[in-house]
Structure 1
Amino acid sequence: MSGRLWHLGNVVVDLVLEVPALPERGGDVLATRTEHTPGGGFNVMAAAARQGLAVTYAGAHGTGPFGDRARAALRSEGIDVLLAPRPQPDTGFVVCLVDADGERTFVTSPGAEAALTPADLAELRPRAGDLVYITGYSLLYDSNRTALLDLLPRLDPAVTLVTDPGPLVHEIPAEAVELLLARSDWWSCNAREAALLTGADDPAEAASILQSRLGRGSVLVRTGPDGCLLHHGERLVAVPGFAVDAVDLNGAGDAHTGVFMAALARGVDPVAAAHRANAGAALAVTASGPATAPDTARLDAFLN
């Protein structure tokens, strides 16, 4: 496989606590299970790396137990790290409370990953055939947003830019969204995010509106178990999903994006790449945890 994925998002550590119910204000509750796991951008990178794509994490990371945990996880997946650790602060973390109904409530404590600067990316020169991935989470931080928007004009036109706006897309400054729409080769989001961006509740309508706003790229809208919609060229294509017994939906979108990018890097047609990504996401939800994307052998066996 040629090409490399340069991930410009944020790796954090998820502190997952399963609770019978959320405590009332001022109250307390005992967790029935606790887990520390790398999260954020790690899940997308792991999914791509397990498909054989060379991956480099080009985001910031800190010094301390969370930074150590994040780097160890990246190493275990064969993912390169571009930048040296920040002397301070530590990598940030996310407290995730999972209640008895499976509903997830998050509180994020930003750390070193929220302090990327233009100087960090000054020498970054992805080559033709590489992919660059940007997430909306990064655009919420002033420093990261400045660094990423400074990079856009320097990208070789033959570099594929993939943007995932994320669930907080409505909080990203509008001018940043427009700059990314103008340069992105793929705008990948779920149906809720597409609706927030366009005001259209129908995913197909939202995909068409997004396509009309893109300067040069195509749109992928994930529609859960139904699969995804691709607006590529002049066509809107519905790519069906796969029926599985879902155990944990956490990380399904990340698995989808990572597998999709790896397939694109291999030269797979976008519709076939989306079909493969649907299968990767389906397999990911059959196991508990956020980073459950399959490797190439398991995905090939499932598809065959």
Structure 2
Amino acid sequence: MITVFGSINIDLVCRTSHLPRPGETVPGSDYQLIPGGKGANQALAARRAGASVRMVGAVGADDMAAIALGELEKDGVDLGALVRRGPTTGMAIITVDDEAENTIVLSPGANARLTAADLASNPPGAGDTLLLQMEVPFAESLAAARAARAAGARVLLSIAPFLPIERAALAEVDIILVNETEAADLARHLGLEAGAGGPETVATLSKALGKTVIATLGSEGAVASADGAEILVPALPVVPVDTTGAGDTFAGVLAALLDQGESLETALQFAAVAGSLSCTQAGAQPSFPRRSAIEAALNGPSSNA
């Protein structure tokens, strides 16, 4: 069982030819309201990869809550631990340009009111997986991590969006997930040499922290470093439409495969391909692939995995 303790948002998405510079107004498309939030995204990605998933999160008393929960409900994510706090559901305001790059402004709403006590009624147990991100109060995530590890659960932390984290806090985590930029930011924050590239930085972080560290490398795939060993897996070559949610897809699918008992290398291969597939459709949650699509891509002639 995977428990995701994290954010639930609405993504307000607008497409434009180029991202606006400071002070610039650019014409955009009709906006879309799409379920999102890193916690909900990762929960949905894990569920579509075949895992049993419980979502512990908060939404507001507004009409946006129903939209935010729509995909989770449809795919059978357990929402029994959901809480309603405050007037507004979290919202991410996303602009996507013609090169599939994006900018995001995040209004936390109810996510800022989630507490570790919300996990207490049905906490992860021995052999379970707790998946965390950085869009709810980190002190509450840290308390949840302590409780989960004490019960014998595996703890994965996606340091996205990046916030400075002290070394002592990372002691409560088993696996650290970052992208290449976040890996460099974390290394610098901890006073470590960032290295010439993602794999080198990941190896440095893993050695210094004594943890498994995994970084996504965009079109280059992903790399993991654990106990001095490196695993590098390729991405699936695709023509990107929208990169929003690719990192969350990777995190959710990785957690799903590990929770199902697969090796780290196999989990990385599935996660890298799933992240690539998610870039081929617009929006975050609508783009998340199902297990059958990931397996077909892994086994197909176009796959390098």
Smaller-chain TM-score range? 0.7 to 0.9
Q: Which amino acid is the alignment partner of residue 37 of structure 1?
A: I
Name 1:260's counterpart in structure 2: 254
* Cα distance in structure 2, aligned partners of 1:26 and 1:186: 40
Secondary structure of the corresponding residue to residue 136 of structure 1: coil
Preserved contact between residue 61 and residue 87 of structure 2 (Cα < 8 Å) = yes
Q: Report the TM-score, using the length of structure 1 for normalisation.
A: 0.87
1:84 to 1:251, Cα distance in 2 relative to 1, 3 A:
closer
Secondary structure of the corresponding residue to residue 215 of structure 2: strand
Name 1:235's counterpart in structure 2: 229
1:233 to 1:70, Cα distance in 2 relative to 1, 3 A:
same
1:229 to 1:55, Cα distance in 2 relative to 1, 3 A:
same
Deviation at 1:123, TM superposition (A): 2.8
* Cα distance in structure 2, aligned partners of 1:159 and 1:90: 32
* Cα distance in structure 2, aligned partners of 1:224 and 1:241: 8
Matched, 1:278 2:267: no
> Which residue of 127, 130, 145 corresponds with 2:138?
145
> Which residue of 283, 288, 297 corresponds with 1:289?
283
1:286 to 1:20, Cα distance in 2 relative to 1, 3 A:
closer
* Cα distance in structure 2, aligned partners of 1:282 and 1:23: 26
Preserved contact between residue 3 and residue 124 of structure 2 (Cα < 8 Å) = yes
Name 1:98's counterpart in structure 2: 96
Deviation at 1:282, TM superposition (A): 1.9
Preserved contact between residue 102 and residue 244 of structure 2 (Cα < 8 Å) = no
* Cα distance in structure 2, aligned partners of 1:27 and 1:224: 29
Q: Matches of residues 179-198 of structure 1 in structure 2 within 5 Å?
A: 179-198=168-187
Name 2:134's counterpart in structure 1: 136
Matched, 1:303 2:292: no
Q: Matches of residues 167-206 of structure 1 in structure 2 within 5 Å?
A: 167-169=161-163, 172=164, 174-175=165-166, 178-199=167-188, 200=194, 201-206=196-201
Per-residue CA deviations over 1:233-257 (Å, capped at 9, x if unaligned) read 2201222222223222222111111
Matched, 1:8 2:13: no
Matched, 1:248 2:245: no
Preserved contact between residue 256 and residue 281 of structure 1 (Cα < 8 Å) = yes
1:127 to 1:19, Cα distance in 2 relative to 1, 3 A:
same
Preserved contact between residue 278 and residue 289 of structure 2 (Cα < 8 Å) = yes
* Cα distance in structure 2, aligned partners of 1:179 and 1:257: 23
* Cα distance in structure 2, aligned partners of 1:277 and 1:26: 38
Runs (5+) with no aligned partner, structure 1: 139-143
Preserved contact between residue 220 and residue 231 of structure 1 (Cα < 8 Å) = yes
* Identical-pair percentage: 31
CA RMSD, aligned part only?
Answer: 2.1
When structure 1 is superposed on structure 2, of 25-34 and 64-73 the one drifting more is: 25-34
Q: Which amino acid is the alignment partner of residue 70 of structure 2?
A: A
> Which residue of 34, 39, 46 corresponds with 2:36?
39
Matched, 1:214 2:209: yes
Name 2:148's counterpart in structure 1: 155
Secondary structure of the corresponding residue to residue 93 of structure 2: strand
**How many corresponding residue pairs?**
290
Runs of 4+ in 1 over 6 A off after TM superposition: 24-27
Preserved contact between residue 203 and residue 221 of structure 1 (Cα < 8 Å) = yes
Name 1:111's counterpart in structure 2: 109
* Cα distance in structure 2, aligned partners of 1:104 and 1:95: 10
Q: Which amino acid is the alignment partner of residue 295 of structure 1?
A: R
* Cα distance in structure 2, aligned partners of 1:303 and 1:101: 26
> Which residue of 205, 222, 226 corresponds with 2:220?
226
* Cα distance in structure 2, aligned partners of 1:265 and 1:294: 18
Q: Matches of residues 65-84 of structure 1 in structure 2 within 5 Å?
A: 65-84=63-82
Q: Which amino acid is the alignment partner of residue 104 of structure 1?
A: N
